[in-house]
Amino acid sequence: MNSFPDRRAEVVMAGMGVPEKRWVGASFSSAAAGYDGVAALQREVGESLLARLRPLGLRPGRVLDLGAGTGYFTGPLVSAFPDACCLAVDIAEGMLRFLRAHRAPGGGIGLVVGDAEALPLADESVDLIFSNMAFQWCERLDAALAECRRVLRPGGRLAFSTFGEDTLGELRTAWRAVDGYSHVNAFATRHSVEQSLRAQGFSKVRVEAAIVGRGYPSVMALMKELKALGARNLTRNRPRHLLGRHTLERVAEAYGRLPGMASGVTASFEVLTALIEK
């Protein structure tokens, strides 16, 4: 297939993956309308990542916004690289429909519903891949990184951010005090991300890690924000029953007993970022 569609705003159905991935797509599709209103951390991380690209003097012919979501950074990528053909790929069709309606009404951006672990793009067809806070939703990070290397041209750049293993550690610990189910998505370690990059043939690999703390008025406010982001519990061992009020109260009590939580609720997010060249 042609590696890039015509420069029109269109949605093309591609492989959606296994059932868990369809659940990921459905979850984020349902969150599309309100996503930008609660995605402050994602915006901050993405703006920092994009700022690292601007001084490099890159002149890519083709740019891929991988895991584009609502397209918050697709427009800035077009502005930063006006001579490039820009493609936005996301597994959530609802996100791309929002992008088409609100961020690309005049066209000029190709939209493709696709899986990062099986990109519907030709080999060596992309000069720059920008992926902000998307890789954590892949079932196999190594497969997604292999796909990035496959579609990148020699000398192409991959700039990405993702969540690390310490993300939402407090919430994970609180839930462990309540039941044996998995309530918080697992995230990769910095070391495993670096290993995956090297295993796929990337050189000069350096993944940076930073812990960001965010305050919330309550544990319920934190969980409501995660739901509004589409970042609900997507693990296989998630409970398949409704959680009662008493259970949620026990989680809040367990959270409050954690060190440093006496005066308020803080959630930690480990942010991993990298800018590497093929």
Q: Under 8 Å CB-to-CB from 146, ≥6 apart: which residues?
A: 200
Q: What is the pLDDT of residues 101-130, one digit of tens each?
A: 887 655 678 999 999 999 999 999 999 999
Q: Tokens 């890039």 correspond to what residue?
A: 4
Position 240 scores a pLDDT of 42
> Does any domain span residue 243?
no
The sheet with strand 208-216 has its strands ordered as 11-13, 109-113, 85-90, 62-66, 126-132, 152-163, 265-277, 208-216
- What's the mean pLDDT in 208-221? 94
User: Would you say residue 15 lies in a domain?
Assistant: yes
The answer to the question of residue 144 being in a domain is: yes
Q: What is the rounded average pLDDT of the residues 134-155?
A: 94
Say if CB 173 and CB 227 are below 8 A apart.
no
Residue 88 has pLDDT above 60, yes or no: yes
Which residues, 6+ apart, have CB-to-CB distance to 23 below 8 Å? 234
CATH number at residue 155: 3.40.50.150
Q: Are 129 and 27 in contact (CB under 8 A)?
A: no
Whether residue 132 lies inside any domain: the answer is yes
**Spatial contact of 223 and 170, defined as CB atoms under 8 Å apart:** no
**Residue 58 belongs to a domain:** yes
Q: What is the DSSP string of 193-253?
A: HHHHHHHTT--S---EEEEEEEEES-HHHHHHHHHHTT-----TT---SPPPHHHHHHHHH
Read off the pLDDT of residues 10-20 as tens digits, 9 standing for 90 and up: 333 333 223 35
Distance between the two ends of the chain, CA-based, in angstroms?
Answer: 23
Identify whether 230 is part of a domain.
Answer: no
Say if CB 183 and CB 173 are below 8 A apart: no
Domain count, the chain: 1
Rounded Cα–Cα distance for residues 81 and 252 (Å): 46
Instruction: Quickly state the pLDDT bin for 62 (edges 50, 70, 90).
Output: very high
Q: Cα–Cα distances in Å, from 87 out to 20, 56, 128, 130?
A: 25, 21, 11, 10
Structural Rg of the chain based on CA atoms? 19
Average pLDDT in the chain: 83
**Parent domain of 81:** 11-164+188-210+271-277
Confidence band, pLDDT 50/70/90 cuts, at residue 168: very high
Residue 156 lies in a domain: yes
Q: In whole angstroms, give the CA distance from residue 163 to residue 115.
A: 18
